[in-house]
Structure 1
Amino acid sequence: MKKLLGALVLMLSSSLACAAEGGFPLERAPDRINNLVALQNGARLFVNYCLNCHSASSMRYNRLKDIGLTDVQIRDNLLFTGEKVGDLMTIAMTPKDGKAWFGATPPDLSVIARAKSSHAGTGADYLYTYLRGYYRDASKATGWNNLVFPNVGMPHVLWERQGPRELTTTTIHPAHAEEGAKPAAGHGKAWEKVTTVYDVNGIATSKTEALTGYMGGERFDAQFSSKDPVRTAAFNNDVGDLVAFMSYIAEPAQRERTRLGVWVLLFLAIFAVIAWRLNAVFWKDIK
């Protein structure tokens, strides 16, 4: 028993360590899996902004009828190059071309919302934070970088909807002392704080300052600032709808599964009461 408890504690510690080492903290995505209006808007955004480079080859267009769209609406609003309503959501770009143009083949997004689930959060949380974590970085080939996925090869395809904004990052880490140098007596490890501002054009400006008497550990903070909060709020809402749709295509039957699960649990609860009373009747005459 002690060995079993020790193994469980070790597994829990490892899980927490993985969550702590997962990188940039994930924000909780809004739960809109049962909001048909949000899913329909997410489908529109997905087809217009994602389906150019990424496929969803495990999903058919006609499954969008499950979120309230008709065949006519799908054909008139989501099909642009002669596809049929029953076709898979594929793209014309080949994996070879994708690797040549972007450095890596853009992944299929059919189950990306499930594949990105981790101890740090759900796959929806990852996508929600990732899509909102882009910032201008003039030092990168695409002109963009990402807090969740540093040095990402994918540009910010939704930048026009989001609008310009600045990013300020603050990093606290041990100072890089010269080789052979030792910290002053009584002061322990030397720390420094680096504040970097990325303007709307991606030009970075950094300032480094030494920290005296700092007793904490390494830290990283990031703060975005926008001059158009209304536009930013609308963008965040669109990202929430897009992530909801990507969660839907990862498991199109999940809404029906959830509804069915409620009835199954109710049945099991009623059956448990009946079984308990039946058991009492069978054993009432046995001392």
Structure 2
Amino acid sequence: MRSLKTLFAALLLAPTLAFAAGAALHLDKAPDVSGDKAALQNGAKLFVNYCLNCHGASALRYNKLLDLGLTEQQIKDNLMFTTDKIGEQMKVAIRPEDAKKWFGAAPPDLSLIARARASADGSGADWLYTYLRSFYRDDKRPTGWNNVVFANVGMPHILYELQGEQVLGPDHKLTLAVPGQLSPAEYDTQIRDLVGFLVWMGEPTSGLRKQLGVAVLLFLGVLFVLAYLLKKEYWKDIH
């Protein structure tokens, strides 16, 4: 377990969890969209259009997106840009050697990123939701961007056109200096859907597992009642 946590930390490039020295990081609660297929479909679209250029999802194949209510033709027409076979993995478009040259390190595969964060410190979706909304302009960084959740992050703010440009004040609070294409509330909704998809991607069968768990518990409850009644009937003459 210790080595597994070490691996997860390496994948995340050892993010810091402080706004400033001695100040604990507050994570915003990520809305749960696990049962909202429309939101998950939108999250898949955002992932393919903005994340898949640099981050792969090699543990997931395109045909798994059928579980979100999409048709095979919709997937081919709108979500497949790096392959023409729906059974292929969701591989990254950028070459790892180019990514390492541009960003200092190859961007990690995001197949299990939500589960990795949850295993590392229990934050999971909340960390991702806060992180993707916490970029700010920093001219001292090579990319021109920094993040209050992940200090000195190598990743640029790929969604800045949607969110706009934030600045970090002396009180370590973020302020929207240049508006983006979306209002803050609209941007938060998009990030909600993207994070929801990242969570789903880590365990696509989570919904089925939970349903089976409930069914098994109900079955065991009925079986317990029948076993108890059978026991009473069997031992009634003795007692």
Structure-2-length-normalised TM-score: 0.83
1:222 counterpart (173, 176, 179): 173
1:240 counterpart (172, 186, 192): 192
In 2: Cα distance, 1:155 partner to 1:139 partner = 13
Partner of 1:97: 98
1:43 touches 1:242 (CA, 8 Å); kept in 2? yes
Read off the aligned partner of 1:27 and give its amino acid letter: D
Partner of 1:145: 146
Partner of 1:9: none
Partner of 2:166: 165
User: 1:67-99, CA deviations, whole angstroms, 9 ceiling, x for partnerless residues?
Assistant: 010010000001124431111000243333322
Partner of 1:34: 35
In 2: Cα distance, 1:227 partner to 1:56 partner = 32
Q: 1:162 to 1:155 in 2, by over 3 A?
A: same
Identity %: 52
The unaligned stretches of length 5 or more in structure 1 are 1-18, 171-220
1:226 touches 1:232 (CA, 8 Å); kept in 2? no
Partner of 1:271: 223
Count, aligned residues? 219
2:52 touches 2:91 (CA, 8 Å); kept in 1? yes
Q: Which structure features the higher share of helix residues?
A: 2
Alignment of 1:24 onto 2:25:
yes
1:114 touches 1:123 (CA, 8 Å); kept in 2? yes
The Cα of 1:227 is off from its aligned counterpart by 7.4
1:23 touches 1:148 (CA, 8 Å); kept in 2? no
The Cα of 1:118 is off from its aligned counterpart by 5.1
Partner of 2:10: none
* Secondary structure of the corresponding residue to residue 116 of structure 1: helix
Read off the aligned partner of 1:49 and give its amino acid letter: Y
User: 1:196-235, CA deviations, whole angstroms, 9 ceiling, x for partnerless residues?
Assistant: xxxxxxxxxxxxxxxxxxxxxxxxx534346759611111
The Cα of 1:108 is off from its aligned counterpart by 0.4
Give the number of the structure whose alpha-carbon radius of gyration is greater: 1
* Secondary structure of the corresponding residue to residue 158 of structure 2: coil
Partner of 2:209: 257
Alignment of 1:131 onto 2:82:
no
1:110 touches 1:246 (CA, 8 Å); kept in 2? yes
Q: CA RMSD in A?
A: 2.4
Read off the aligned partner of 2:92 and give its amino acid letter: I
Q: 1:271 to 1:64 in 2, by over 3 A?
A: same
In 1: Cα distance, 2:121 partner to 2:212 partner = 29
Bigger shift: 245-254 or 93-102? 93-102
The Cα of 1:119 is off from its aligned counterpart by 7.7
Read off the aligned partner of 2:185 and give its amino acid letter: A
Read off the aligned partner of 1:113 and give its amino acid letter: A
Partner of 2:79: 78
